[in-house]
Structure 1
């Protein structure tokens, strides 16, 4: 095989790749476009010629043939915030979103698929829908679980392949790939937290829940309360919060003021638990001697806590990678039926309980 470097600063052409590989231009095109009919040895020769000549395929022209953009959107849909800054601040500081991005990117990169991150709230859903409708991406990984969020239904109606990061908060209108989702067994995680606190001898238990208009917030709350009621320890005091440090701190102060005899606390996210620990210690309680605390997520926030946080681990990176795999299957075969994948949580014991 001989290679012909570009002359006069011009980019190598497909014809030069074909000459270097000793095949036709049509064969080079089939290799570039991923046609399955090309012999493996021929494919290897052409790929070597592409590398040696430095040829870069014309992505725009290729997309006209394949009707693929080789891009996937990670759409993060959050409820309205008082100001856009606080909305974006949570998107880029909450460890959960970073872990989702990392897991999805790791799964997509070997397939040469790019991830486009789109944070949104209801004020600019129309812009997101317009972007998706214009064919800039082949599919959507959608982080949305709020009960009144209309975006899942809007994406569903576009007919674009999509996978949700959690069980849908409300049913969609017809079966499609948009109804596929990946989640963790939220209620099991809450039961694991309850059993661990009971095993430590805690009997005056309470919980700080996430928003109850999303399935994860409601499932963690009900899983914890129902399990304890079945053990004869209900009703369990609960305060609904917002998955933020500040929300966890405020909620813990309220719980300890209203129920000063608490000796065990389940907090439905590590970020909230970090704030709750600050409040507990500021109010003169020792952790875990006076009050044991269990979080949920096993995110980096659990290791920022003092003492280190005992928590329920959901394998977010693996879940995001599975979302990407399910989405790629839907992109390759648009007629596939929706698929749900449920991961199992585990208890991670550290110093707070």
Structure 2
């Protein structure tokens, strides 16, 4: 006997998981007959399915045919940041370029910073609305467990190796190599005390760029933990981090900022402290945003092919939707763009 629901209600796997008091992944394992589920959990899920009248709506959603003509771009970031950080519009431009060519619609989903952030996103993705999903902006403190879904998923940037997301395909830039290039530029320019304003350490781009800096500094025999401060990739955090850095290490004569927006903040902090760039302190950024040409002085930076990342992610996802086997990962080259700040 099932419980009547409002007219038009179609319970999803997320609804079942919530009713059973288990994770969505556990509910999926029960549904798909995986043996590694305790009898108690299995009974809870099966009871919830019966109570809600759950039935898999899309038995063919893993097939090669495109059913909806739409894919989702899932952005794991707060909405204000979505419209102020140039990274996301550049990714979307690359995605849109590929989709326009094949007549596929793009649906934007944002992931809020709430305890129940997964449910709305997973409910939508599991509801038959899209044929696949692109996921960007992943934070380690908020991993999305998506690889149980019956639709293809591709990540923009190497996903944080938490849970099961590490097995999904991704497209990334060579963040470690680019950070090594940036740091080496400062060392080769004769800078003796090279610091970094690193990115957030719950994102793999931030982790990898800090690792590249450490590799270059260790190779030169100059690595010092007191030369490392962290920001969130935004301008204000770069300015604040550089001010803290200068207060504890006034001997700094080179700074690698792990994003151009943080580098803009670094330049502001240096100007306020009376330090000339590059005469007193040389600065290198990362991204090669349009603003890097207009800073004073123009910013030496590392170019990552963000639009190309978006296009490659999309091409990979469309191929998977059409039945191709996924590639494990694609890493695109970065390059140093010398200007006058270093």
Q: Same fold (TM over 0.5)?
A: yes
Matched residue, 1:199: 188
Matched residue, 2:108: 117
> Aligned equivalents of 2:71 and 2:328: distance in 1?
18
Structure 1, gaps ≥5 residues long: 1-62, 79-86
Once the two structures are TM-superposed, the CA of residue 122 in structure 1 deviates from its matched residue by 4.2
Matched residue, 1:8: none
- 2:245 aligned residue (255, 260, 273): 255
> Aligned equivalents of 1:319 and 1:329: distance in 2?
15
Give me the TM-score of the superposition, normalised by structure 2.
0.77
Cα separation, partners in 2 of 1:169 and 1:311, compared to 1, 3 Å: same
> Aligned equivalents of 1:310 and 1:225: distance in 2?
19
The reply to whether residue 289 of structure 1 matches residue 282 of structure 2 is no
- 2:91 aligned residue (60, 76, 100): 100
How does 1:267-282 map onto structure 2 within 5 Å?
A: 267-282=257-272
Matched residue, 2:201: 212
Matched residue, 1:147: 140
Matched residue, 1:264: 254
The range that moved more, 201-210 or 140-149, is 140-149
> Aligned residue pairs: how many?
276
Structure 2, gaps ≥5 residues long: 1-60
The reply to whether residue 89 of structure 1 matches residue 80 of structure 2 is yes
Q: Deviations over 1:211-265 (max 9, x none)?
A: 1122111111121022211111122510011111110000000111111111100
The SS at the match of 2:134 is strand
- Check whether the contact 2:159–2:165 (CA below 8 A) recurs between aligned residues: no
The reply to whether residue 221 of structure 1 matches residue 210 of structure 2 is yes
Matched residue, 1:302: 292
> Aligned equivalents of 2:223 and 2:257: distance in 1?
17
CA RMSD of aligned residues (A): 1.8
Q: Which runs of 4+ in 1 moved over 3 A?
A: 171-176
Q: Deviations over 1:136-164 (max 9, x none)?
A: 1111110033213232x1x2222211100
- Check whether the contact 1:175–1:337 (CA below 8 A) recurs between aligned residues: no
- Check whether the contact 2:243–2:269 (CA below 8 A) recurs between aligned residues: yes
> Aligned equivalents of 2:133 and 2:217: distance in 1?
39
Matched residue, 1:182: 171
Matched residue, 1:321: 311
Q: Deviations over 1:11-67 (max 9, x none)?
A: xxxxxxxxxxxxxxxxxxxxxxxxxxxxxxxxxxxxxxxxxxxxxxxxxxxx9xx65
> Aligned equivalents of 2:330 and 2:193: distance in 1?
35
> Aligned equivalents of 1:301 and 1:130: distance in 2?
38
The reply to whether residue 230 of structure 1 matches residue 223 of structure 2 is no
Where is the helix percentage greater, Structure 1 or Structure 2?
Answer: 1
Matched residue, 1:162: 153
- Check whether the contact 2:160–2:166 (CA below 8 A) recurs between aligned residues: no
- Check whether the contact 1:175–1:338 (CA below 8 A) recurs between aligned residues: no
> Aligned equivalents of 2:69 and 2:140: distance in 1?
31
